[in-house]
Structure 1
Amino acid sequence: MTNSELDSDVAAADAPAGGEQTPHPMHKVLSFVRRSGRLDDRLQRAWDNYADRYLLDITEGNLLDVREGVTLDRDFISRVWGNENPLIVEIGTGQGENVAAAAAAHPEYNFLALEVYDPGVAHTLLLAGKQDLDNLRVAQVNAPELFKVTADAVVSEVWTFFPDPWPKKKHHKRRIVQEALAADIHRALAQNGVWRIATDIEDYALHVHEVMDDLAGWRNLGRLTVSLPIEHVGKGNADMAADMPHADFVESERFEGRVLTNFEKKGLAAGRVIHDFTYQAVALG
């Protein structure tokens, strides 16, 4: 999905006929906008053939809330995956290229792919089914809602690679990396578990640093020094960032476990720098 598509969707969702903004239904700030869309024949077949095996039936409603009574705990993991292997959760799996490759390469781990958009879900199902992956499951769910009902210390790692940038300043509150989600992920991670984040948007990198670097319970494991502007820019004035005051920040080298997806290739081809982060959950206090 392009940024312009995002902006038009958000404008439609946020701006009623009178031009005044109204709160989102149920007063939630979501990192996505639900859109109706028809799957092509190939993706529809993938959904029909593989949803029963891979797609978890845990959500309800158009906001993709977790159905009442669902808890992501060790019993749930044992029932769904049939083992007690460590669980890695990817937030925003896109087309599923990365999580499917990781699941194929690491059968000793369980993987849960969280994606809200139908084509991405269907394509992930297709990749899982074609490779007959036993250790991958998919959930079409609002990720923050799932982590609210995740038990303590049951997740080994959380991955959030190239989340929607929400480039307009008024939409920065919709970015998935927020303190509230960080608190729930911290509780869900096992001891020394990590949250891996990657973005090719410089302003989003600054946002991650602002949210995570001084947040209690997290340790930045990065060793690379990068220079970033210390003021935010929005869509339409990003070219101003080069002339803004800069400061040094610490980030990680590229995560070897992340395959080079088509999305990342496009970012590199456009000359964007990839920012990787590794935050380790440590004891509070």
Structure 2
Amino acid sequence: MIDGVSGGSERSDSGGRPVHRVLSFVRRSGRLDARLRRARENYGSRYLLDASAGAGSLDVRPGFSLGQSDVVRLWGSDRPLVVEIGTGQGENVVAAAQRNPETNFLAVEVYDPGVAHTMLLAGKSGLDNLRIAQVNATDLMAAIAPGTVAEVWTFFPDPWPKMRHHKRRIVQPAFADAVRGSLGEGGVWRLATDIEDYALHVHEVMDGRGDFLNQGTVTVSLPVEHVGKGNAQEAASLPHADFVESERFAGRVLTNFERKGLRSGRVIHDFTYRAV
């Protein structure tokens, strides 16, 4: 990993000109304690996919792809594949893999401590239906063959609350294109956020698309103007409109992160978009 903060990364186009990519995460190093170092050493070869362009790189390596035959080769079965993007410490994806041995899971996480902790939890449970990719999710989704994935989960992504940073939010039209491309017909993208402004952002990106259908049944009221850190206190006084969202996804465990949000009085917004 690279220390510090970066708003994007540089690549070259076919003409050799640099192309700036906006990243949805801050690149920073994380120290591994002895326990997490051992977990990485003991379980890395078992769980970590060879998807990275090199040591310390979060770019997907040239030539990497993930299709149905790759799933069979890497997971050892053709069970349905669920991809969770931004798995954090691995609490949710490991619990899901434990509860659903008939399903394959791919945990996508960029931070070293989270990756190592996910390995630790998976190794302790002896899971054989979980793999981990430590790469940029936008590149990974673009490398997945059409129809390979049954569900994509994106729970509590970085909200990037400052208005000028909203372009870094992972839910963007181009990313939705990549998610839709990975899903089979009837596949599902599940999302959740505890930030009201991010909920509005999700609706703006997703509700008007012709290739996803909002499966929600719950009516919620949201401000129809975006707010950030500088004007969040104005949200209640802004014009509101009704939107449709989903009941809480029963397959998502209550993580420490979600508990903190609930204790602080935040409302959890769940979304279910079915590929059509």
After TM superposition, the score normalised by the length of structure 2 is: 0.93
> What displacement does 1:60 show?
1.5
Q: SS at the partner of 2:213?
A: strand
Alpha-carbon distance in structure 2 between the residues aligned to 1:40 and 1:249: 44
Which residue does 1:3 correspond to in 2?
A: none
Rounded to whole Å, the distance in 2 between the matches of 1:43 and 1:261 is 20
**Pair 1:59 & 2:44 matched:** no
Equivalent residue of 1:232, what SS? coil
Instruction: Indicate the residue corresponding to 2:231 in structure 1.
Output: 237
| Deviation (angstroms), 1:69 | 1.2
Which of 165, 174, 178 aligns to 1:180? It is 174
Counterpart of 1:41 in structure 2 is 34
Q: 2:88 aligns with which of 94, 97, 100?
A: 94
Mapped contact 1:34–1:63 kept (Cα < 8 A): no
2:214 is matched with 220
Are the aligned partners of 1:189 and 1:281 in contact in 2 as well (CA < 8 Å)?
yes
Give 3-state SS (helix, strand or coil) of 1:42's partner. Answer: helix
Q: Alignment partner for residue 69 of structure 1, among 63, 67, 74?
A: 63
Q: Give how far 1:24 is off.
A: 4.3
**Displacement of 1:44:** 1.1
1:33-65 Cα shifts (integer Å, max 9, x gaps):
211232111111111111110011111255511
- Offset, 1:194: 0.4
Matching of residue 200 in structure 1 with residue 194 in structure 2: yes
1:1-285 counterparts in 2 under 5 A? 10=5, 13=6, 24-26=9-11, 27-60=20-53, 64-282=58-276
Amino acid at match of 1:56: L
Moved more, 59-68 or 222-231: 59-68
After TM superposition, give the deviation of residue 25 of structure 1 in Å.
Answer: 2.4
Q: Distance in 2 between matches of 1:166 and 1:95?
A: 20
Length, aligned pairs only = 265
Query: What is the one-letter code of the residue matched to 1:157?
Result: E
C-alpha distance in 1 between matches for 2:233 and 2:97: 39
Q: Which runs of 5+ in 2 are unaligned?
A: 12-19
Q: Which amino acid aligns with 1:263?
A: F
RMSD in angstroms over aligned alpha carbons?
1.4
Q: In the aligned structure 2, how far is the partner of 1:255 from the partner of 1:132?
A: 26
Instruction: Choose 141-150 or 193-202, whichever is displaced more.
Output: 141-150
Q: Is the contact between residue 217 and residue 244 of structure 2 (CA under 8 Å) also seen in structure 1?
A: yes
Q: Distance in 1 between matches of 2:69 and 2:62?
A: 16
Query: After superposition, what is the alpha-carbon deviation per residue over 1:96-151, rounded to whole angstroms, capped at 9, x for unaligned?
Result: 00000000000000000000011110110111000000000011010110111110
2:29·2:111 contact (CA, 8 Å) conserved in 1? Answer: no
* AA partner of residue 10 (structure 2): P
Unpaired runs of 5+ residues, structure 1, are 1-8, 15-22
